[in-house]
């Protein structure tokens, strides 16, 4: 995956010693199976997998083939490096390689939100956290998807060389030195099935009335079910409780209004059934990890 490799090369492979309080920067070395130069990074020095245990930090980029059997030599090399106290960082789906090497067992970790469920299913001993941009667990670090790799790499600079160096490289790359929130703000609201089957008519009815103080009892009465029957049906058809579904719809409506309108936070709170701006801010931040204002700044359509 060229994007994440390029991020690591940009952060660690370009001499920015003028930003460092020690006047030093990183020396980037590429690891390949046999030590032969990689065609993407031919200008950089190369070592074999067996030699990566001699560095200070190992950065494992992402892979587009999660079903591929990892190279056992690489897995052994990662285990040896970790045993020597070398920090190991994965970018995006690189977490699957760390998991295969056993380095994430009993730890918190993250990966791209599209693959978080698969990581949890394959490796149940990992505390998978799909909502964050990266996880720093001391000697093992993992990043979420795509540009979150940049967040983790800048974080490593902050750890090694201080906040001023991290802020300096962020300014050069024209990115925030530290982004607020997590992956949740970038996950598109799930598409809901519509039609005449199941609970779809009731859910369509509720979506059209999100500005009203709807309750679970209101949904149950429209569906001519008891609240208990509604809960069972919602779990079977949508794998969510009626209250959680209603809450998600209100947050999704708020996201849409923040992106597409100039309505005030108070107006949006009323239009999505949150009542007050304070209530919207509290629930929005809890769900997405950012404030409505920060979300609008990041995603407002031109």
| Beta-strand pair 108-109/87-90 | unpaired
| DSSP character at residue 89 | E
Which CATH fold would you assign to the domain 200-299?
Arc Repressor Mutant, subunit A (1.10.10)
Between CA 95 and CA 140 the distance in angstroms is 10
In SS3 terms, 133-176 reads as CEEECCCEEEECCCCHHHHHHHHHHHHHHCHHHHHHHHHHHCCC
38-63 pLDDT, tens digit per residue, is 998 999 999 999 899 889 999 999 98
- Residue 191, number of CB atoms within 10 A of its CB: 6
pTM over 0.85, yes/no: no
Between CA 48 and CA 82 the distance in angstroms is 16
Q: For residue 38, give the 3-state DSSP assignment.
A: coil
| DSSP character at residue 70 | P
Q: For residue 101, give the 3-state DSSP assignment.
A: coil
Statement: 2-183 belongs to CATH 3.40.50.880: yes
At residue 194, the pLDDT reads: 46
Residue identified by tokens 């936070």 is 265
Note whether 112 and 146 are within 8 A (CB): yes
Note whether 113 and 130 are within 8 A (CB): yes
Domain ranges of the chain: 2-183, 200-299
Note whether 62 and 91 are within 8 A (CB): yes
Written as six digits, the tokens of 46 are 């190369």
202-256 pLDDT, tens digit per residue, is 999 999 999 998 999 999 999 999 999 999 998 887 778 999 999 989 998 998 8
Q: How many helices (H) and strands (E) does the chain have?
A: 13, 8
Q: What is the mean pLDDT of each run of 10 residues along the chain (302 residues)?
A: 92 94 93 93 92 93 81 94 96 96 95 93 94 91 93 92 86 80 66 59 92 92 93 84 92 88 94 93 89 84 49
Between CA 109 and CA 98 the distance in angstroms is 10
């Amino acid at each position: 995956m060229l994007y994440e490799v390029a991020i690591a090369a940009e952060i660690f492979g370009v001499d920015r010693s003028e930003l460092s309080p020690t006047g030093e920067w990183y020396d980037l070395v590429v690891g390949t199976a046999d030590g032969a130069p990689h065609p993407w990074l031919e200008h950089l020095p190369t070592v074999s997998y067996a030699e990566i245990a001699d560095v200070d930090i190992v950065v494992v980029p992402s892979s587009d083939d999660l079903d591929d059997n990892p190279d056992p030599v690489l897995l052994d090399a990662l285990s040896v490096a970790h045993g020597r106290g070398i920090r190991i960082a994965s970018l995006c789906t690189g977490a699957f390689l760390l998991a295969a090497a056993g380095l994430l067992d009993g730890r918190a970790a993250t990966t791209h939100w599209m693959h978080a469920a698969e990581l949890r299913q394959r490796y149940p001993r990992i505390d998978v956290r799909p909502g964050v941009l990266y996880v720093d667990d001391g000697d093992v670090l993992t990043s979420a998807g795509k540009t979150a790799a940049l967040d983790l790499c800048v974080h490593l600079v902050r750890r090694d060389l201080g906040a001023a160096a991290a802020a300096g490289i962020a300014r050069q790359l024209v990115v925030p030195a530290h982004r607020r929130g997590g992956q949740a703000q970038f996950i598109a609201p799930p598409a809901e099935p519509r039609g005449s089957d199941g609970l779809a008519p009731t859910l369509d009815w509720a979506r059209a009335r999100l500005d009203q103080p709807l309750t679970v009892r209101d949904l149950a009465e429209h569906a001519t079910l008891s609240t208990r029957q509604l809960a069972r049906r919602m779990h079977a058809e949508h794998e969510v409780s009626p209250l959680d579904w209603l809450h998600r719809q209100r947050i999704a409506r708020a996201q849409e209004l923040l992106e597409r309108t100039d309505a005030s936070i108070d107006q949006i709170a009323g239009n999505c059934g949150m009542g007050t701006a304070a209530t919207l801010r509290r629930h929005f931040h809890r769900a997405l990890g950012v404030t409505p204002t920060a979300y609008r700044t990041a995603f407002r359509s031109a």
